[in-house]
Amino acid sequence: MTDTTQNTRVLLASRPHGEPTSANFRIESVPMPEPADGEVLLRTVYLSLDPYMRGRMNEAKSYAAPVELGAVMEGGTVAEVIQSRDPSLKPGDMVLSHLGWQSHGVQQARHVRKLDPARAPISTAVGVLGMPGFTAYAGLLEIGRPQSGETVVVAAAAGPVGSAVGQIARIKGARAVGIAGGAEKVAWLEELGFDVALDHRSPTFRDDLKAAVPDGIDVYFENVGGHVWEAVLPRLNTYARVPVCGLVAHYNETEPREGPDRSARLMSAILTKSITVRGFIQHEFVKSHYKQFQADAAEWIRDGSLRHREDVVDGLENAPDAFFGMLSGKNFGKLLVRVGEDPTR
């Protein structure tokens, strides 16, 4: 039975040096917050765990401010309204919100978006129909611009961003090559219709990639960096496009990797092959592309051309371990924490 007087929350207790551990988090219970005029009190149903949260644990300023020490870990949530002081929402409404790692919270009603559980499962609002799906859509179509018959390669392909990238590439008539860790993920990519799926942990990965792209790579959607990027770079075609979305292989690094400086080789490839390498953070495309994304994604889900998979962990207290696992590939699909009962299922 949920305690209606207490809010359980996970705070950032210390900053990690390298891989985060449970010592970096502290769980506490505090009295339930009270909503003011224009606000709603929410009960978290799903907390989305995403790789960007590793960056928020660092002190260094990035494209977003770090989480302060002693503050609630940041995160997107799907929540139920349990008390409303705004006419636009009533108890029982389900909303997309940003409560972070806590069981309850207060938000301004104008900062949440009401969800229609009849339209799609509410969890998809932080997955295929939410930020990760949108990241794939905007980054691939606006920067990658795949043309029919071209070859698109994506890593972390069994995750919510990568799986959408590959499927959207196929919808646009391109060949999709997905890279993931392990046989189970590779089998799922084949089931989704990727033209080729490769295991980056295989000792023959470099040769497998070479064989999978006989005409070279026109679009490489970068999610990971590391040894996958090393294998991809020599296979990029003239005029290739590289949307740089994430570098999860490097998020726990504290120092640059040892080795010869290969930046000249990289710049030379960019120059001589006229390659476009363009980093992006999905917000920049929200105004211009979000509405169309919602319409397109809903249609593709309906006609079966865009499928997704969720990896649901029960209990807020298990969020830290699930988060560590995601950074090393233990998740299989969009990683969610079911913080409280989902009344729509």
Residues that bind ligand NDP (CB under 6 A): 50-52, 132, 135, 155-156, 158-162, 180-181, 185, 200, 223-224, 226, 228, 245-246, 248-249, 280-282, 326, 329, 331, 335
Nearer to ligand NDP, 74 or 93 (CB): 74
CB nearer to ligand NDP: pick between 85 and 330: 330
For the bound state, the minimum distance from the C-beta of residue 89 to ligand NDP, rounded and expressed in Å, comes to 27
Neighbours of 285 (CB within 10 A): 19
DSSP character string of 32-82: PP---TTEEEEEEEEEE--THHHHHTSSS--SSPPPPTTSBPP--EEEEEE
Q: Which is nearer to ligand NDP, 104 or 185 (CB)?
A: 185
Which is nearer to ligand NDP, 84 or 331 (by Cβ)? Answer: 331
In whole angstroms, the minimum distance from the beta carbon of 279 to ligand NDP comes to 7
Nearest distance from C-beta of residue 148 to ligand NDP, angstroms? 25
Strand partners, 314: 338
Classify 216 in phi/psi space as left (phi over 0), alpha (psi -120 to 50) or beta: left
- Residue 291 Cβ vs ligand NDP, minimum distance, rounded to whole Å: 18
CB of 343 to ligand NDP, least distance (A): 26
Taking CA 162 as the corner, what is the angle to CA 157 and CA 165, rounded to the nearest 5 degrees? Answer: 125
* Residues facing residue 271 across a β-bridge: none
Rank residues 94 and 326 by Cβ distance to ligand NDP and give the closer one: 326
User: Nearer Cβ to ligand NDP, position 8 or 223?
Assistant: 223
Is the Cβ–Cβ distance between 114 and 42 less than 8 Å? no
Q: Which is nearer to ligand NDP, 153 or 224 (by Cβ)?
A: 224
Query: Helices 286-302 and 131-138 sit at what angle, rounded to 10 degrees?
Result: 100
Q: Are 232 and 218 in contact (CB under 8 A)?
A: no
CB of 309 to ligand NDP, least distance (A): 10
Least distance from ligand NDP to the Cβ atom of residue 324, Å: 11
Strands (DSSP E) found in 73-169 = 77-84, 94-97, 104-108, 113-114, 151-155
